[in-house]
Amino acid sequence: MNLQKGFLPKRLWLRGGIIGAIVCIVLFLFYIFIYFPTIDKIYAEDIKAYGGTPAWTTTVPLMTGHFFPLLSHFIVPYGFLCEFKEPICTSWSATNEPGGVPWTMEGQAGYCIEQTMTPTDSCANLSEAIGFWGLAAMLLGIYFVIGAAIGGFIQKRKAK
């Protein structure tokens, strides 16, 4: 009852925003603990045969926005906020080629013909985490704003 006493006197737009944020969190928990595990069980044969579930299974999470944080790996650029300073070899040869740099790849000594700079693994992992949590916070904010807008609309209608 104390929760209700503290919640009811709030302005309707604030209550609506809080309810919107709670709906967002409940939907996220539903997708993670019920929806996706159920889909995985139902379509286990398709996952083995084709490597995934039918495309329509992600439609509902996409419509509610909850699939975007899970897709943050593809949305946020690789190495976002990172300095690209770790070289990797993109073209390797066992024989010395002009401009080749001595390079050992998979235990085999040879020469690297082309190098590309990449971020360190720890920085790349941190940037992915920032992308996930940033998109999750943005989604929570959107749900809060939608709830607040609905609450504000109701508040204006009651004031008339």
Q: Which residues pair with 108 in a beta bridge?
A: 105
Q: Is the residue at 24 inside a domain? A: yes
pTM, full prediction: 0.75
Q: Is the residue at 26 inside a domain? A: yes
Q: What is the pLDDT of residues 28-74, one digit of tens each?
A: 999 999 999 999 898 888 888 888 888 888 899 999 999 888 888 78
Q: Is the residue at 38 inside a domain? A: yes
Look up the domain containing 57 and give its range.
Answer: 13-84+119-146
Please tell me the total count of domains within the chain: 1
- Give helix 121-159 / helix 12-30 axis angle, nearest 10°: 140
For residue 15, give Cα distances in angstroms to 24, 89, 147, 154: 14, 56, 8, 11
Q: Is the residue at 113 inside a domain? A: no
Q: What is the pLDDT of residues 61-92, one digit of tens each?
A: 999 999 888 888 788 888 888 889 899 888 88
* CA separation for the pair 52, 44 (Å, rounded): 9
Q: What is the pLDDT of residue 141?
A: 96
Q: What is the pLDDT of residue 6?
A: 59
Tell me: pLDDT of 122 over 60.
Answer: yes
Question: Which SS3 state, helix, strand or coil, does residue 67 take?
Answer: helix
Q: Is the residue at 18 inside a domain? A: yes
Q: Is the residue at 3 inside a domain? A: no
Q: Is the residue at 89 inside a domain? A: no
Q: Which of 35, 21, 3, 5 is nearest to 146 (CA)?
A: 21
Q: What is the pLDDT of residues 125-146, one digit of tens each?
A: 898 889 899 999 999 999 999 9
Q: Is the residue at 160 inside a domain? A: no
